[in-house]
Structure 1
Amino acid sequence: MFASRLPVAERYADWLAEAGVVRGLIGPREVPRLWERHLLNCAVVADAIPQGASVADVGSGAGLPGVVLAVRRPDLRVTLIEPLLRRTTFLQEVVDDLALDQVEVVRGRAEELHGTRRFDVVTSRAVAPLERLLAWCLPLCAPAGAVLAMKGASASEELAGLPWPRADEAATVLTLGADQIVVPTTAVRVDAARARELGWVPSRSSRRPRPRSTQRKGRRPH
């Protein structure tokens, strides 16, 4: 799946299995299943992202899926958004070590970037329930952008439970990697333009939040 980028993916796996565990970003029980449950699970999300897209990974944590997407797809410009200092420190060390020049690490919350940054695709994995997640992510989408939220078996249920109208017109449940990995990845894709037309973006999300101190790092801001 990673082709010539496999050595870089293996190096990232080492980071997760060693420093990631020591710093509490990955549970020790996850190490034996890093590839199946985490790396490959995230890698197939790249198949749903257009060539050369700008990507924001909200609540990036240890870099899943953002770092994996950057490793598999060097054409993508990836911004890792994470509020906790110990995690952004880890992410920056990984980005530097793997020479991911197209990746930027931003310390902060997604809503703090509302009105200042826009991306073609906004990703997330195990961050929050879908309704709350979309309130954070949709304002970050470019006019023709989309949210790609990695979800498990609850994806359809969460989508059906949204308080906004006509969910089937803006959102689709995707099954990714069915012919590549043992357990396919489930993601909810939300078309930002249609979601805005339907009034899915809560008015509170369009207001610029009070500024707070943020730490931005990266080799190639965009």
Structure 2
Amino acid sequence: MPLTLDQAAQLMNRDLEQFLNRCPLSISSAGQKKGTVKFYLYSLGDTAYGINQGVRMNEMRLRLSTTALSSNAKAVQCIHIPVSQFEQLKPESISKVTHYDAADFLVTTQLTGCTFAIRKAKGGGLEFLHVQPNGDFDGSKIQKAIKTEFQVSFGKGDGSNASTYGNNTRVTVLGQRRNNFWKVYAQYQDANGNVTGVDCIYEEANSAVAYVD
């Protein structure tokens, strides 16, 4: 039996990896907004396959959006990472996240050819970048180019490891901070929105010095 919206929201807070395995999720863009943005979690009104303990099961398709399109939508404070085109990249395209950012979830719009990059920031915190292909640069070239500058460069490729995803795959990227440490996951979906797998693409080392106010 599919999870209710309340159950899905509780699971998202309690165990993000299990939530992403079970619940097909898409994330709408918040434009060029950076930092903390209020999103709303709601059902799209239909189902797709999720994965529950290795078994494919029908679950509600969910969306995180800045607009509450359902009366029972659940508000979620999220740090939003905007999209930048590769040929228009500039230092301001990078989003820096520190312990001063109040939200404990991190979102960006769905990847269909883009690269999502993560690295440690000078002076503490993390830097994130979502790059969209354009011009003469396709997704796989961008993934390789960004890899030279960032600790994590997750983008288009052959899908043979947790740093690339293949053709006909859409990816939802969602991160969560617990005890001041971030874990960022990729949920893979096929063309019909069914979950085909989940990878942790970044885990902040617990051996790092915790932030102190």
State whether TM-score is above 0.5: no
**Of Structure 1 and Structure 2, which has the larger fraction of its residues in helix?**
1
TM-score, normalising length: structure 1: 0.30
TM-score, normalising length: structure 2: 0.30
